[in-house]
Homo-oligomer: A and B are copies of this chain.
Amino acid sequence: MGAKHAMDPDLLDEVGRRLLAELQEDARQPYAELGRKVGLTAPAVAERLRRMEVAGLIQGYRAQVNRSAMGWKLAAFVRIRAFPGQDSAIERFAADTAEVLECHEVTGEDSYLLKIAAANVQHLDRVITALAPLGATHSVLVLSTKVEGKILAPVGA
């Protein structure tokens, strides 16, 4: 429980932080180019990344896909106040439903906050309707996204 991974602080020195920033911008750069940017050779970069992966600092390398181009034209946030005993049903729904992009348990009057994608308004309505039996929902549609996928810097950098 708690601290799962050995937290080697040396991994987050100046070199480590610049590597993480570079990898968030482009995860497919050759090790040699990463090394050129941070002042290491390619094998040294590879070993640092390997250590960052086992430490759980790097969780994976993912392609970023354009939601709109794939047909998910709408995004929405739904907060839901679970009806008694429906919490686990909501979590299962979130895990099993392709339209649910994120599900967070939150403080306050609502139990969960869900980020949802849909092809159109009818589609979105279907998802929200499916949620209705599980709790009281409040939905807002995303009109435009101003910031998303920002590069994560180490705290206090």
Q: Could you list which residues of chain A lie within 8 angstroms of chain B, going by C-beta atoms?
A: 5, 7, 12, 20, 23-28, 55-67, 69-72, 75, 77, 91, 94-95, 98, 100-108, 110, 112-113, 117, 119, 123, 140-150, 152-157
Contacts and interface: CB of A to CB of B under 8 A. Distances in A.
A70 B156 CA distance: 10
Report copies per complex: 2
Given A27-B28, A64-B61, A146-B105, A69 B95 contact: no
Contacts of A27: 27-28, 61-63
18 contacts: A20-B70, A25-B60, A25-B62, A26-B61, A27-B27, A27-B62, A56-B69, A59-B66, A60-B63, A60-B64, A72-B152, A91-B146, A94-B147, A104-B143, A106-B140, A107-B141, A112-B146, A117-B152
